[in-house]
A and B are shown apart, each in its own frame.
Chain A
Amino acid sequence: MSEVQTRPAPVANRPATPVPAPELAIAMRGVTKIFGDDPQTTLALLQSGKSKSEVQAETNHVVGLNNVSLDIAKGQIFVVMGLSGSGKSTLIRHVNRLIEPTAGEIIVNGSDVLKMSLDELRTYRRTQVAMVFQKFGLLPHRSVIDNVAYGLEVRGVDTKTRLREAAKWIEIVGLSGYEQSQPRQLSGGQQQRVGLARALAMDTDIILMDEAFSALDPLIRSGMQDQLIELQKSLGKTILFITHDFDEALKIGDRIAVLKDGALQQEGKPEDIVLRPANEHIEEFVREVNKARAIHVRSIMDRGEFDPCAASVSKDSRCEDVLPMFAEHQWVGVLDADGRQIGRVTLKQVIKALARYTPQPAETPPTLG
């Protein structure tokens, strides 16, 4: 990886720290991936400032990722969002090195993934990162329980222990009774639960989820999202989640990064993205989105000491959670994790927040009448 030192400056709004802070689960520095026969020459071209399409027209090489730097803190759900072809699936495969980058640095839990030998890499995959796939990737010739136990089997865990672990996780994802079924006998949602249980059974700190819910029906998808949020709360895992669905990103993400043409467009909290889209591309997403779901009450409330309100919500609630309460109450209190009131919101504030952040008021349809 001699090209590491030649990497260009990172994206402007993300200052790079030379040594990743210890609480980071995953740190990516200037990761670039070029698909083709001669990536190094193309890399120089890309670094001279040409765009993805120019590079592709000139050299017939496809730019998968262009100088992506990300810091993913421990214990959060980090969502990478982008349309198809934006490089998001390429990005997630760099974390467990299913794809080798052309340039850049990837640090996971303090160790440099790219410097690992083949043997170290296998140990790393067996013990530190588990993955859930869009197409499930279940072994069709094994029963559900043997699929869930697969990762532990690869790790060398004895039969009794791994079957016990597998049974436990099958129960947690709600598939009790299906232990001896074959994957093909299950519905898509159930199959993905098997995929999720297989990753959770590994008990790794980091779980990679590549469009894990994209192949599912909307209703089942929503249920899986809720379950994932619940699991993350109770287990405290770091989850890197890939999706093309902005609503999904807003619902489950603690932080969101938006990718386009292999380049990072913006990274931040869901409301940062919704309230301050960095460019037109992101604005397009924001325009379609349910803003009441994206904006947390804590970002619009009046902070300070008020008389206790009759109704209250936690500070992690979103506007859509408090809206119904205004039918009965004038103010809604906002509580911190310990149940103390730290502020309050009014209906006016919520409406202002939803209206103010409509990015281009000129384009909103004229009011009727």
Chain B
Amino acid sequence: MFPDIIDTRPLRRAVDDGLNWVVRHWGGAFEAAAHPLLMLLKSIENLLIATPWWFITAILVGIAWLATRSWKLPAVVFVALIFLGVMDLWDDAMTTMALMIAATLTAIVLSIPVGVWMSRSLNVRKAITPILDLMQTLPSFVYLIPTVMIFGPGKIPALIATIVYASPPLVRLTDLGLRSVDPAVMEASRAFGTNPRQRLLGVQIPLALPTILAGVNQTTMMALSMVVIASMIGAGGLGYQVLQGIGRLEVSRGLFAGLGIVALAIIFDRVTQSFGKQLQARIGLAEAR
């Protein structure tokens, strides 16, 4: 038995009371602050559900063609979407897709500036890296419960939990991409009298874009892997079907909904990867490395 060195009960009580106090006094404010997030999610979801299935299929197949200029990926995307439709999972898939897109968009807006900041200062990087580690390793239920207490069950805590879990790879890869831009090119840019903004927007970000896109790819994948947990607190979608399948011991329901998540993952993974490769080829990094 580990000896009781100090009494930790007051600390525990302080944390619990503190959270309760925040919920009581600031709950409304937090909910109002998160309202734009909810609006974003709702509008994406409504748009996806209102759009006819054949139109969404056509758009995604078209994007896949633009990303690869070959027929293989569009065919895979087409089959995956038809599978979702045939299995009667279309609306759930759109709800899940909306959650993932909203989480990814928010993560991009938040993570890229943080990544830029990290790439410029060693101290900032030292301070933020452990936070990112924490975000990725802390079991999601630990922050899910307080978020549910503050916002109430529903889509907002689901979205926030997904963002927390899915952002770190994008921050890390943005930082890495910006730092690994060829120093010779950066020096040349400096020698021509560029200011930091011109270097960031004109040289660093364009050259780091393939790496940043790899981060976006990771973020979409991490967001998809959160859908089952997110559905426990009211996100709905394919995750909810999986949950119900488990609850009712209906293996088929869980299996097909699970495969539906895989189908979405394949679509988004392959499409973002292909765009990354295309970009890399255009910059010519593929040959240089």
Q: Chain A interface (Cβ within 8 Å of chain B)?
A: 96, 98, 121-127, 129-131, 133, 135-141, 150-151, 154-155, 182-184, 202, 208
Contacts and interface: CB of A to CB of B under 8 A. Distances in A.
Contact of A184 (B193, B194, B284): B284
A127 B191 CA distance: 11
Most A Cβ at <10 Å: residue of B194, B198, B207: B194
A136 B189 CA distance: 11
B191 A141 contact: no
B185 A140 contact: yes
B188 interface: yes
B284 A137 contact: no
B187 interface: yes
Contacts of A127: 193
B123 to A, nearest CB: 16
Interface string B176-212: 0000000011011111111100100011001100000
Contacts of B198: 154
A138 B185 contact: yes
Contacts of A98: 187, 190-191
Contact of A135 (B184, B203, B207, B283): B184
3 shortest interchain CB distances as A-B pairs:
A137-B188, A125-B193, A126-B193
Contacts of A150: 189, 192
26 contacts: A96-B191, A98-B187, A98-B191, A121-B193, A122-B193, A123-B193, A124-B193, A125-B190, A125-B192, A127-B193, A133-B191, A137-B184, A138-B185, A139-B185, A139-B202, A139-B203, A140-B185, A140-B283, A140-B284, A141-B207, A141-B284, A151-B192, A154-B193, A154-B194, A184-B288, A202-B192
Given A98-B191, A131-B188, A154-B198, 18 more contacts: A98-B190, A122-B195, A124-B193, A125-B191, A125-B192, A125-B193, A127-B193, A129-B191, A133-B184, A136-B184, A137-B185, A138-B185, A138-B188, A139-B203, A141-B282, A151-B192, A184-B288, A202-B192
Interface of A, secondary structure class, is mixed
B283 A131 contact: no
Contacts of B282: 141, 182
Contacts of B187: 98, 133, 137
B251 interface: no
B192 A126 contact: yes
Contacts, number: 71
A140 B285 contact: yes
A250 B185 CA distance: 30
A133 B191 CA distance: 10
B279 to A, nearest CB: 9
A92 B189 CA distance: 16
A98 B188 CA distance: 10
B4 interface: no
Contacts of A133: 184, 187-188, 191
B287 interface: yes
A136 B185 CA distance: 8
Contacts of A151: 192-193
Nearest to A137: B188
Contacts of B203: 139
A281 B159 CA distance: 70
A46 to B, nearest CB: 26
B70 to A, nearest CB: 22
A154 B193 CA distance: 7
B252 to A, nearest CB: 50
A135 B183 CA distance: 10
Contacts of B189: 137, 139, 150
Contacts of B192: 125-126, 130-131, 150-151, 154, 202
B191 to A, nearest CB: 4
Contacts of A124: 193
A6 B277 CA distance: 57
Contact of B207 (A129, A136, A140): A140
Nearest to B192: A151
B193 A183 contact: no
A369 B282 CA distance: 65
Interface in B143-186: 184-185
